[in-house]
């Protein structure tokens, strides 16, 4: 899962495997380690207990919670993104991660096929 933070905007991009994990298990978590014992964790989870997308920060962890119905509708269709409510202090955008249109050493074969091009090598 890729995490992008810009000003008060938080963007998560999930590969096909991560989208399937969110659908099947209700949670995807990652972390970036800075030093021994120091890491920033970030998760996305679905829950029937929330009415809208929310984001929480506690300790060294960022958690995004999506209503279960919204998560299912997103994971089981070709919808590309879901967006958190505009009234929240932190704006959240959750997207399916597409492959780059140009060859890259960082290409991810698990990324979704980009709608404007074919997978590299095809």
* Range 52-70 average pLDDT: 95
Q: Which pLDDT score is estimated for 108?
A: 67
Residue 82 has pLDDT above 50, yes or no: yes
In this prediction, residue 115 has a pLDDT band, given cuts at 50, 70 and 90, of low
Domain ranges, ordered by start, for the chain: 2-96
Residue 110 has pLDDT above 80, yes or no: no
Percent of the chain with pLDDT over 70: 80
Q: Which pLDDT score is estimated for 101?
A: 55
Average pLDDT, the chain: 87
* Range 18-34 average pLDDT: 96
- Integer CA distances (angstroms), 25 to 37, 39, 44, 75, in order: 27, 23, 11, 12
- Integer CA distances (angstroms), 2 to 32, 77, 108, 114, in order: 11, 21, 12, 16
Q: Which pLDDT score is estimated for 86?
A: 81
Q: Which pLDDT score is estimated for 122?
A: 42
For residue 103 the two structure tokens come to 């060859």
- Round to whole Å and give the CA distance between 114 and 80: 11
In this prediction, residue 85 has a pLDDT band, given cuts at 50, 70 and 90, of confident
Give, in words, the CATH class of 2-96.
alpha beta
């Amino acid at each position: 899962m890729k995490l992008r933070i810009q000003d008060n905007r938080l963007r998560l991009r999930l590969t096909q495997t991560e989208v399937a994990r969110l659908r099947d298990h209700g949670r995807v978590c990652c972390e970036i380690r800075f030093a021994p014992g120091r890491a920033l964790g970030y998760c996305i989870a679905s829950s029937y207990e929330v009415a809208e997308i929310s984001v929480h920060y506690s300790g060294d962890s960022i958690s995004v919670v999506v209503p279960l119905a919204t998560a299912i509708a997103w994971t089981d269709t070709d919808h590309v993104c879901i967006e958190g409510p505009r009234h929240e202090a932190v704006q959240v955008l959750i997207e399916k991660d597409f492959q780059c249109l140009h060859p890259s050493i960082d290409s991810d074969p698990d990324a979704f096929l980009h709608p404007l091009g074919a997978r590299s090598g095809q």
